[in-house]
Structure 1
Amino acid sequence: MAKKNAPSLNALRVFDVAARCPSFKQAAQQLGVTQAAVTRQIQALEQQLDMSLFHRDNRVHSLTPAGLELAPQLESIFKQLDQTLARAKHLNDNNTTTLTIAIASARLRFWLNHQLTDFQSLYPHVQLNFVNCEEFLSSKAAAELSTRIQHEGVDLVIAAGDIKDIHIGSQSLGTVELVPCASDPSEELLWQTSWLVDRENRNHQDYIKQQSKQLKHTPFIHCNDTQMALDLAQSQQRIALVDNRYCESESFPKLHTFATHRMTTKPELKLHYRKRRQQSVALVAFMKWLQLVTK
């Protein structure tokens, strides 16, 4: 036996409106169509369902028992559908106007934060959300961020290092220059004072390798957080190794930077994002703006 065609969604919508109106004429006005169009849709629906939904009496506009059974159920279904569509539209609007950026707290505080006023004045409709990530990406952190980007938990990652995934794109934001800083400006004590370094950090490793002769007898203290290193450098006789970009910030601690010992290290600072055929307007705007301010 052949399966009957499912009833038309449009016809069901017309019936839902007609069932709540005192006449087909008012239903037509509400739907923005002619009364004849409403009549045709109702007749087509009755044929598809093989049942009468309205009494055929010109003096009375009333539902049959079948119509009375169907009408409240359809009203509830269409109400739920409208609510679902509204939520979907809201989510879609958020995706096009909201960006979630993963960035280390120190990089946000001492580098990006003071430039954000410029971006927000240019693109007031774009809301920026922030989550914390490693300043210099380890392999584990890179893998975790790759997953978060692909599952849309994060739109952009700003960090030194690579995310090796065919689905992830990146653009360079320039080299990372590390510079030592301390509360004591004495050059003589620089190589004798304990340095706060992260031995698992590839940029720190590169710096130490380049300065291996001077640092040959220098004691190291492990510290894998820039803000912690800066706090310790302020309160104790310690050397913190930081991205030179931070030193230009007004919120950077009052520490002496040894500019003559600044070194360019690898890997570079990069912006990572999910590859798509067409990126959102907000994401493209932020990426282009960031390229300009980092030149």
Structure 2
Amino acid sequence: MSFPQHRPRRLRQSPAVRRLVRETHLAPSQLVLPMFVREGISEPSPISSMPGVVQHSLDSLRRAAADAADAGVGGLMLFGVPAVRDSRGSGADDPRGILNVATEALVAEVGDALVVQTDLCLDEFTDHGHCGVLDAQGRVDNDATLERYASMALAQARAGSALLGLSGMMDGQTAHVRAALDAEGFTDTMILAYSAKYAGAFYGPFREAVDSQLVGDRRTYQLDPANGREGVREALLDAEEGADIVMVKPAMPYLDVLAEVRASVDIPVWAYQVSGEYAMIEAAAAHGWIDRRRAIEESLLGIRRAGADAILTYWAVEAARWLRDTP
């Protein structure tokens, strides 16, 4: 009889061996928790399409942030849901607007334990739901939007945000915001550029989470799902413009782009496991079709294996506790 010369199974023979030779590792500090805070509510409000995720009141936000810090997650990404919207998103750079007030509260609560981060985009604050201001023809005006982003950046930096998540996908946004921050002395405020943000189908539950007013779509500024090289180009441009970190979003359908971006830049690369990815696993698990914990862990490992240095995920706290409690 002929027996195999190579026996890769030797490295799979026991849990101890598998742990010893494991190629990809996940740690609580590599997880960032997205959080929603809604103006004018006194109790958390469940998001029906994202079981277990809520719109927070200021009080519940503080408690949840302390819980996240206790679990050891690396950071919090904060999204604000205002009570009043207008065409230019005035609440976004209002010092007493919900996002900036909540940022101050989180910095005071957990700012020494983890990185408090803020979403820098107008879509939650506009009555038309787009990520920028509109021109007379109803199109998103790129350069006028950059001025609003600069004002938002300064408001968020003054509120204490350590990292600004530029998610609007306007041309030149990283350079414009970096210049505005530096001119006002905020040279230590970090920029996370959502470089490869695709106009895909996985954002539906998020729109409920922020009570989006969007009419139409965002295909004139977010990337075409068919284009991989374009995502790499955007990441290279953002790195050149001064981004400290670049992002690929969503994660699961764009792992190829994530791997290419990781190979192309020498700064940290993050990925966002978006609301649709979360909702699909939760729904399948609720029906008993998949093992929930194993599916969550496998999805996070897949994103890490593709090259993400950190992952924004709604399971951040739960996964961090699993990691902490598993030898």
Q: Which range, TM-score by smaller chain?
A: under 0.3
Structure 1 length normalisation: TM-score? 0.23
Larger Rg: 1
Structure 2 length normalisation: TM-score? 0.21
